[in-house]
Chain A
Amino acid sequence: MSRNATYNFAGMSALVMEHSSFLLSAVSLICRSVGIRPVHEATSAGEALALLRDTMPDFVITTCGADGRDGLALCTAIRGDDALPCRFVPIVMMTSHSVKHVVELARDAGVTEVLAKPISAAALLDRIVYVVDHPRPFVQAPDYFGPDRRRRPADAPYNGPERRLNAPVIVSAPVGVAGRVEAAAPPHGIA
Protein backbone atom coordinates (compact mmCIF):
# COMPACT_ATOMS: atom_id res chain seq x y z
CA MET A 1 0.00 0.00 0.00
CA SER A 2 1.50 3.29 -1.02
CA ARG A 3 0.86 6.39 1.03
CA ASN A 4 -0.78 8.07 -1.95
CA ALA A 5 -2.98 5.14 -2.92
CA THR A 6 -6.65 6.05 -2.87
CA TYR A 7 -9.64 3.90 -2.04
CA ASN A 8 -13.21 4.38 -3.11
CA PHE A 9 -15.48 2.22 -0.98
CA ALA A 10 -18.70 3.64 -2.38
CA GLY A 11 -21.04 0.86 -3.38
CA MET A 12 -19.26 -1.77 -1.30
CA SER A 13 -21.26 -3.40 1.45
CA ALA A 14 -20.45 -4.98 4.79
CA LEU A 15 -22.04 -7.16 7.38
CA VAL A 16 -21.11 -6.42 10.99
CA MET A 17 -21.79 -8.90 13.78
CA GLU A 18 -21.17 -7.62 17.31
CA HIS A 19 -22.94 -8.46 20.58
CA SER A 20 -22.44 -5.02 22.07
CA SER A 21 -24.99 -2.65 20.60
CA PHE A 22 -22.73 0.32 21.13
CA LEU A 23 -19.72 -1.26 19.46
CA LEU A 24 -21.98 -2.49 16.68
CA SER A 25 -23.11 1.05 15.99
CA ALA A 26 -19.51 2.31 16.22
CA VAL A 27 -18.18 -0.19 13.68
CA SER A 28 -21.13 0.46 11.37
CA LEU A 29 -20.55 4.17 11.69
CA ILE A 30 -16.88 3.81 10.76
CA CYS A 31 -17.83 1.78 7.69
CA ARG A 32 -20.56 4.17 6.59
CA SER A 33 -18.36 7.21 7.11
CA VAL A 34 -15.94 5.97 4.45
CA GLY A 35 -18.71 5.14 1.99
CA ILE A 36 -19.34 1.45 2.69
CA ARG A 37 -23.10 1.06 2.27
CA PRO A 38 -25.26 -0.71 3.05
CA VAL A 39 -23.92 -2.00 6.35
CA HIS A 40 -26.00 -4.91 7.58
CA GLU A 41 -26.01 -5.30 11.36
CA ALA A 42 -26.40 -8.46 13.41
CA THR A 43 -25.98 -9.16 17.10
CA SER A 44 -25.57 -12.93 16.85
CA ALA A 45 -24.18 -15.52 14.47
CA GLY A 46 -27.66 -16.82 13.73
CA GLU A 47 -28.88 -13.37 12.78
CA ALA A 48 -25.80 -12.81 10.62
CA LEU A 49 -26.25 -16.11 8.80
CA ALA A 50 -29.89 -15.31 8.11
CA LEU A 51 -28.78 -12.02 6.54
CA LEU A 52 -26.08 -13.76 4.51
CA ARG A 53 -28.63 -15.97 2.80
CA ASP A 54 -30.12 -12.89 1.13
CA THR A 55 -27.15 -10.54 0.84
CA MET A 56 -23.62 -10.74 -0.49
CA PRO A 57 -21.48 -8.29 1.47
CA ASP A 58 -17.97 -7.38 0.35
CA PHE A 59 -16.65 -7.63 3.92
CA VAL A 60 -17.77 -9.41 7.07
CA ILE A 61 -16.62 -7.84 10.32
CA THR A 62 -17.40 -9.97 13.34
CA THR A 63 -16.65 -10.04 17.00
CA CYS A 64 -15.11 -13.11 18.55
CA GLY A 65 -17.41 -12.90 21.57
CA ALA A 66 -16.70 -13.51 25.21
CA ASP A 67 -16.10 -17.21 24.73
CA GLY A 68 -15.20 -17.06 21.07
CA ARG A 69 -17.93 -19.45 20.02
CA ASP A 70 -20.32 -17.12 18.25
CA GLY A 71 -17.81 -15.41 15.95
CA LEU A 72 -15.95 -18.62 15.20
CA ALA A 73 -19.25 -20.40 14.50
CA LEU A 74 -20.15 -17.69 12.02
CA CYS A 75 -16.80 -18.05 10.21
CA THR A 76 -17.05 -21.82 10.15
CA ALA A 77 -20.60 -21.59 8.80
CA ILE A 78 -19.62 -19.13 6.06
CA ARG A 79 -16.61 -21.13 4.91
CA GLY A 80 -18.30 -24.49 5.31
CA ASP A 81 -21.51 -23.87 3.42
CA ASP A 82 -20.88 -24.11 -0.30
CA ALA A 83 -24.44 -22.97 -0.95
CA LEU A 84 -23.65 -19.56 0.52
CA PRO A 85 -22.87 -17.02 -2.20
CA CYS A 86 -20.37 -15.22 0.02
CA ARG A 87 -18.15 -18.16 0.89
CA PHE A 88 -15.03 -16.25 -0.21
CA VAL A 89 -15.86 -13.01 1.60
CA PRO A 90 -12.99 -11.48 3.60
CA ILE A 91 -13.73 -11.87 7.32
CA VAL A 92 -12.18 -9.51 9.86
CA MET A 93 -12.55 -10.77 13.41
CA MET A 94 -12.39 -8.36 16.33
CA THR A 95 -11.31 -9.97 19.56
CA SER A 96 -10.48 -8.96 23.09
CA HIS A 97 -8.58 -12.19 23.46
CA SER A 98 -5.66 -11.75 21.10
CA VAL A 99 -3.81 -14.66 22.66
CA LYS A 100 -2.15 -17.18 20.40
CA HIS A 101 -4.76 -19.87 21.05
CA VAL A 102 -7.67 -17.65 19.99
CA VAL A 103 -5.80 -16.35 16.96
CA GLU A 104 -5.09 -19.95 15.90
CA LEU A 105 -8.75 -20.89 16.34
CA ALA A 106 -9.74 -17.90 14.23
CA ARG A 107 -7.20 -18.79 11.56
CA ASP A 108 -8.43 -22.38 11.41
CA ALA A 109 -12.05 -21.21 11.20
CA GLY A 110 -11.18 -19.29 8.04
CA VAL A 111 -10.82 -15.77 9.37
CA THR A 112 -8.95 -13.48 6.99
CA GLU A 113 -7.63 -10.92 9.48
CA VAL A 114 -7.74 -10.59 13.27
CA LEU A 115 -8.15 -7.20 14.91
CA ALA A 116 -7.46 -6.78 18.63
CA LYS A 117 -9.93 -4.79 20.70
CA PRO A 118 -10.18 -2.01 21.62
CA ILE A 119 -10.69 -1.12 18.02
CA SER A 120 -10.00 2.27 16.56
CA ALA A 121 -11.21 3.71 13.30
CA ALA A 122 -7.61 3.70 12.05
CA ALA A 123 -7.00 0.05 12.93
CA LEU A 124 -10.26 -1.13 11.39
CA LEU A 125 -9.65 0.81 8.18
CA ASP A 126 -6.08 -0.50 8.05
CA ARG A 127 -7.43 -4.07 8.08
CA ILE A 128 -10.06 -3.34 5.44
CA VAL A 129 -7.48 -1.72 3.18
CA TYR A 130 -5.11 -4.63 3.82
CA VAL A 131 -7.64 -7.23 2.66
CA VAL A 132 -8.31 -5.11 -0.43
CA ASP A 133 -4.62 -4.78 -1.24
CA HIS A 134 -3.50 -8.27 -0.25
CA PRO A 135 -6.12 -10.85 -1.15
CA ARG A 136 -5.10 -14.34 -0.12
CA PRO A 137 -5.77 -17.36 -2.28
CA PHE A 138 -8.19 -19.85 -0.83
CA VAL A 139 -7.28 -23.38 0.12
CA GLN A 140 -9.72 -26.18 -0.39
CA ALA A 141 -8.71 -29.29 1.53
CA PRO A 142 -10.75 -32.09 3.09
CA ASP A 143 -10.71 -30.49 6.53
CA TYR A 144 -10.31 -26.82 5.69
CA PHE A 145 -11.74 -24.21 3.39
CA GLY A 146 -10.57 -20.65 3.77
CA PRO A 147 -7.77 -18.20 3.13
CA ASP A 148 -4.32 -19.71 2.70
CA ARG A 149 -2.90 -19.90 6.21
CA ARG A 150 0.68 -19.73 4.98
CA ARG A 151 1.37 -16.03 5.10
CA ARG A 152 4.41 -15.52 2.99
CA PRO A 153 5.19 -14.08 -0.38
CA ALA A 154 4.35 -16.52 -3.17
CA ASP A 155 7.99 -16.84 -4.16
CA ALA A 156 9.35 -17.40 -0.64
CA PRO A 157 10.13 -20.98 0.42
CA TYR A 158 7.90 -22.61 3.04
CA ASN A 159 9.99 -24.05 5.84
CA GLY A 160 7.29 -25.68 7.97
CA PRO A 161 6.16 -29.32 7.89
CA GLU A 162 4.61 -30.20 4.54
CA ARG A 163 1.04 -31.18 5.26
CA ARG A 164 -0.15 -30.84 1.71
CA LEU A 165 -0.21 -34.13 -0.16
CA ASN A 166 0.38 -32.50 -3.51
CA ALA A 167 1.65 -29.21 -4.78
CA PRO A 168 -1.47 -27.06 -4.64
CA VAL A 169 -3.41 -27.08 -7.85
CA ILE A 170 -4.25 -23.53 -8.75
CA VAL A 171 -7.81 -22.99 -9.82
CA SER A 172 -8.89 -19.61 -11.12
CA ALA A 173 -12.41 -18.89 -10.04
CA PRO A 174 -14.18 -16.01 -11.72
CA VAL A 175 -15.69 -13.23 -9.68
CA GLY A 176 -19.36 -13.70 -9.05
CA VAL A 177 -19.12 -17.46 -8.79
CA ALA A 178 -20.97 -18.63 -5.74
CA GLY A 179 -19.31 -20.63 -3.03
CA ARG A 180 -19.09 -23.80 -5.06
CA VAL A 181 -15.83 -23.99 -7.01
CA GLU A 182 -15.84 -25.92 -10.23
CA ALA A 183 -12.41 -27.06 -11.32
CA ALA A 184 -11.85 -27.98 -14.95
CA ALA A 185 -10.66 -31.42 -13.91
CA PRO A 186 -9.95 -32.83 -10.47
CA PRO A 187 -6.22 -32.82 -9.86
CA HIS A 188 -4.35 -36.02 -9.20
CA GLY A 189 -4.96 -37.30 -5.72
CA ILE A 190 -8.16 -35.37 -5.18
CA ALA A 191 -11.35 -37.28 -5.24
Chain B
Amino acid sequence: MYRAPARLIRRPNDLKLRAARPGGRTLAELRAVADTALADVQAEFVAWVVARLAVVATAIDDTRPSSPIEAGDVAMLREDIAELADSAATFGHPVVGDVARMMGEVVALATSADGRLGNADRRHVELLRSQVAAIRAVLNAGPGAAAAGAALLPTLRRTIDRLAGASRA
Protein backbone atom coordinates (compact mmCIF):
# COMPACT_ATOMS: atom_id res chain seq x y z
CA MET B 1 0.00 0.00 0.00
CA TYR B 2 1.19 3.50 -0.86
CA ARG B 3 2.11 5.44 2.24
CA ALA B 4 2.66 9.15 2.25
CA PRO B 5 4.27 11.58 4.62
CA ALA B 6 1.66 13.66 6.35
CA ARG B 7 1.73 16.88 8.28
CA LEU B 8 -1.12 17.77 10.59
CA ILE B 9 -1.79 21.48 10.84
CA ARG B 10 -3.68 22.75 13.85
CA ARG B 11 -4.79 26.36 13.91
CA PRO B 12 -6.35 28.34 16.72
CA ASN B 13 -10.13 28.30 16.47
CA ASP B 14 -10.62 31.88 15.43
CA LEU B 15 -14.23 31.29 14.38
CA LYS B 16 -15.17 29.98 17.82
CA LEU B 17 -13.56 32.98 19.49
CA ARG B 18 -15.42 35.40 17.27
CA ALA B 19 -18.74 33.57 17.57
CA ALA B 20 -18.45 33.63 21.34
CA ARG B 21 -18.57 37.43 21.52
CA PRO B 22 -21.43 38.94 23.53
CA GLY B 23 -24.72 39.48 21.77
CA GLY B 24 -25.01 35.98 20.39
CA ARG B 25 -28.12 33.84 20.06
CA THR B 26 -28.76 30.18 20.74
CA LEU B 27 -29.01 27.77 17.83
CA ALA B 28 -32.77 27.52 18.38
CA GLU B 29 -33.09 31.30 18.18
CA LEU B 30 -30.94 31.45 15.06
CA ARG B 31 -33.07 28.77 13.39
CA ALA B 32 -36.25 30.68 14.20
CA VAL B 33 -34.84 33.91 12.76
CA ALA B 34 -33.73 32.15 9.56
CA ASP B 35 -37.08 30.36 9.16
CA THR B 36 -38.91 33.68 9.44
CA ALA B 37 -36.66 35.23 6.81
CA LEU B 38 -37.30 32.30 4.46
CA ALA B 39 -41.06 32.54 4.98
CA ASP B 40 -40.94 36.06 3.56
CA VAL B 41 -39.80 34.82 0.18
CA GLN B 42 -42.10 31.79 -0.09
CA ALA B 43 -44.66 33.72 -2.16
CA GLU B 44 -41.91 34.64 -4.59
CA PHE B 45 -40.96 31.00 -4.72
CA VAL B 46 -44.46 29.93 -5.80
CA ALA B 47 -44.36 32.45 -8.66
CA TRP B 48 -40.95 31.11 -9.65
CA VAL B 49 -42.20 27.50 -9.63
CA VAL B 50 -45.18 28.40 -11.79
CA ALA B 51 -42.83 29.95 -14.36
CA ARG B 52 -40.53 26.90 -14.21
CA LEU B 53 -43.50 24.55 -14.62
CA ALA B 54 -44.54 26.39 -17.77
CA VAL B 55 -41.10 25.70 -19.24
CA VAL B 56 -41.26 22.05 -18.21
CA ALA B 57 -44.81 21.62 -19.52
CA THR B 58 -43.83 23.04 -22.91
CA ALA B 59 -40.92 20.63 -23.10
CA ILE B 60 -43.20 17.72 -22.22
CA ASP B 61 -45.67 18.74 -24.92
CA ASP B 62 -42.79 18.59 -27.39
CA THR B 63 -41.95 15.07 -26.28
CA ARG B 64 -43.14 12.99 -29.19
CA PRO B 65 -41.21 10.19 -30.84
CA SER B 66 -41.88 11.89 -34.18
CA SER B 67 -40.20 15.11 -33.08
CA PRO B 68 -37.76 14.29 -30.31
CA ILE B 69 -36.31 17.31 -28.56
CA GLU B 70 -32.55 17.77 -28.77
CA ALA B 71 -30.22 16.21 -26.20
CA GLY B 72 -29.19 19.67 -25.00
CA ASP B 73 -32.83 20.58 -24.37
CA VAL B 74 -33.35 17.32 -22.49
CA ALA B 75 -30.37 18.14 -20.29
CA MET B 76 -31.87 21.57 -19.59
CA LEU B 77 -35.23 19.99 -18.81
CA ARG B 78 -33.53 17.67 -16.31
CA GLU B 79 -31.74 20.62 -14.73
CA ASP B 80 -35.02 22.56 -14.44
CA ILE B 81 -36.68 19.59 -12.76
CA ALA B 82 -33.71 19.00 -10.45
CA GLU B 83 -33.72 22.67 -9.45
CA LEU B 84 -37.41 22.45 -8.71
CA ALA B 85 -36.90 19.31 -6.63
CA ASP B 86 -33.98 20.81 -4.71
CA SER B 87 -35.59 24.11 -3.89
CA ALA B 88 -39.22 23.16 -3.23
CA ALA B 89 -38.70 21.62 0.20
CA THR B 90 -36.43 24.51 1.18
CA PHE B 91 -39.39 26.83 0.66
CA GLY B 92 -41.90 24.73 2.55
CA HIS B 93 -43.30 22.59 -0.26
CA PRO B 94 -41.89 19.11 0.35
CA VAL B 95 -44.62 17.40 -1.69
CA VAL B 96 -43.75 19.54 -4.71
CA GLY B 97 -40.13 18.49 -4.21
CA ASP B 98 -41.11 14.81 -4.05
CA VAL B 99 -43.23 15.02 -7.20
CA ALA B 100 -40.46 16.91 -9.02
CA ARG B 101 -37.97 14.23 -8.02
CA MET B 102 -40.32 11.61 -9.50
CA MET B 103 -40.56 13.68 -12.68
CA GLY B 104 -36.79 13.48 -12.85
CA GLU B 105 -37.04 9.69 -12.64
CA VAL B 106 -39.58 9.55 -15.48
CA VAL B 107 -37.43 11.79 -17.70
CA ALA B 108 -34.43 9.58 -16.91
CA LEU B 109 -36.44 6.49 -17.94
CA ALA B 110 -37.50 8.22 -21.15
CA THR B 111 -33.96 9.29 -22.04
CA SER B 112 -32.19 7.13 -24.58
CA ALA B 113 -28.45 6.58 -24.92
CA ASP B 114 -28.12 9.53 -27.31
CA GLY B 115 -29.40 11.91 -24.64
CA ARG B 116 -32.74 12.46 -26.38
CA LEU B 117 -36.13 11.32 -25.14
CA GLY B 118 -35.94 8.36 -27.48
CA ASN B 119 -37.53 5.96 -24.99
CA ALA B 120 -40.53 8.20 -24.38
CA ASP B 121 -43.94 6.93 -25.28
CA ARG B 122 -47.50 7.92 -24.43
CA ARG B 123 -47.21 6.54 -20.87
CA HIS B 124 -44.19 8.69 -20.03
CA VAL B 125 -45.77 11.81 -21.45
CA GLU B 126 -49.06 11.24 -19.64
CA LEU B 127 -47.28 10.55 -16.37
CA LEU B 128 -45.22 13.72 -16.70
CA ARG B 129 -48.34 15.73 -17.48
CA SER B 130 -50.09 14.30 -14.44
CA GLN B 131 -47.09 15.21 -12.30
CA VAL B 132 -47.09 18.79 -13.58
CA ALA B 133 -50.83 18.94 -12.83
CA ALA B 134 -50.24 17.56 -9.32
CA ILE B 135 -47.64 20.24 -8.58
CA ARG B 136 -49.97 22.96 -9.86
CA ALA B 137 -52.82 21.61 -7.73
CA VAL B 138 -50.67 21.55 -4.60
CA LEU B 139 -49.45 25.10 -5.19
CA ASN B 140 -52.94 26.41 -5.98
CA ALA B 141 -54.41 24.78 -2.89
CA GLY B 142 -51.83 26.40 -0.61
CA PRO B 143 -49.79 24.98 2.24
CA GLY B 144 -52.88 23.47 3.93
CA ALA B 145 -53.30 21.01 1.09
CA ALA B 146 -49.95 19.35 1.59
CA ALA B 147 -51.59 16.23 3.03
CA ALA B 148 -53.84 15.86 -0.01
CA GLY B 149 -50.83 16.28 -2.25
CA ALA B 150 -48.88 13.72 -0.26
CA ALA B 151 -51.71 11.22 -0.81
CA LEU B 152 -50.90 11.33 -4.53
CA LEU B 153 -47.33 10.22 -4.01
CA PRO B 154 -47.88 6.44 -3.58
CA THR B 155 -49.92 6.31 -6.79
CA LEU B 156 -47.26 8.21 -8.72
CA ARG B 157 -44.61 5.94 -7.22
CA ARG B 158 -46.41 2.76 -8.32
CA THR B 159 -46.87 4.13 -11.84
CA ILE B 160 -43.18 4.97 -12.13
CA ASP B 161 -42.19 1.55 -10.82
CA ARG B 162 -44.45 -0.08 -13.42
CA LEU B 163 -42.85 2.03 -16.14
CA ALA B 164 -39.38 1.15 -14.92
CA GLY B 165 -40.33 -2.54 -14.88
CA ALA B 166 -41.67 -2.29 -18.42
CA SER B 167 -38.46 -0.57 -19.55
CA ARG B 168 -36.34 -3.36 -18.11
CA ALA B 169 -38.48 -6.09 -19.67
Contacts and interface: CB of A to CB of B under 8 A. Distances in A.
A33 B39 CA distance: 12
A83 interface: no
User: B interface, by DSSP: helix, strand, loop or mixed?
Assistant: helix
Contacts of B25: 6-8, 34
Nearest to B75: A66
B3 to A, nearest CB: 4
B4 A165 contact: yes
B58 interface: no
Given A96-B82, A126-B27, A166-B6, A132 B37 contact: no
Contacts, number: 192
A181 B79 CA distance: 40
Taking residues whose C-beta sits less than 8 angstroms from the other chain, chain B's interface range is 35 or more
Interface stretch (A41-49, A70-78, A103-111, A137-145): A137-145
A151 interface: no
Size bracket, chain A contacts: 35 or more
Contacts of B31: 121-122, 125
A148 B31 CA distance: 28
Given A11-B18, A66-B79, A166-B5, 18 more contacts: A3-B26, A8-B20, A10-B23, A19-B79, A22-B83, A30-B37, A96-B86, A118-B85, A118-B88, A118-B94, A119-B90, A125-B31, A126-B27, A132-B15, A135-B13, A169-B8, A172-B9, A172-B11
